Structure 1
Amino acid sequence: MKATKIAYKPVGLALGALSGVIAGAAFKQTWKALGNGDAPDATDENRGWREILLASAIQGAIFAVVKATVDRAGAKTTKRLTGTWPG
């Protein structure tokens, strides 16, 4: 395993945690902007299937885009600093 790849592991973990925080905040803001109040929990018996599944789909899309963006930016920054792509 290359040294850059090994050195990138903790950076990747930190970026993953950061992307989770960013995506969570983005989802909450998006859900509020849609005018639906607080995001539903899957076990909330007062919310219907449609609302729960819609919230889950939006949340999943936001998490995927934020994670890909943060991961790509981290890899490009690593390449710029070390000259080697971490993947």
Structure 2
Amino acid sequence: MTKQISKSSYKPVGIVLGLAAGTLSGMVFQRIWAMTMRGDAPHPIDEERGWGEVLLAAAMQGAIVAVIRASIDRAGATGIRKFTGHWPHD
């Protein structure tokens, strides 16, 4: 048996973790936006919101998604190693 977990074997775990990361990051972004900007986050085609507010929201959301996604992916790989004794590889 190989000492590596292939990318295809890890893919189902990665899909589930990706869905969880997306859901969690959306909730975190909405909460942070509401606490700091006192209202709902702007939608890109909201005519009432300016470019600056829309782009700030997009930048914040992108950063939050990236940090949460990386954290969850790393935790998933660590969990696989603890469960199987091997790190998932390409």
Percent identity of equivalent pairs? 48
Cα RMSD over matched residues? 1.3
Q: Which has the higher contact order (CA 8 A, sep 6+)?
A: 2
Give the superposition deviation at 1:83. 1.2
**Length-normalised TM-score, structure 2:** 0.90
Identify unmatched segments of 5+ residues in structure 1. none
Give the superposition deviation at 1:37. 0.4
Describe how 1:1-87 pairs up with structure 2 within 5 A. 4-5=5-6, 6-87=8-89
Identify unmatched segments of 5+ residues in structure 2. none
**Length-normalised TM-score, structure 1:** 0.92
Amino acid at match of 1:38: D
Give me the whole-angstrom Cα distance separating, in 2, the residues matched to 1:4 and 1:26: 31
Give me the whole-angstrom Cα distance separating, in 1, the residues matched to 2:65 and 2:79: 21
Aligned pairs, number: 86
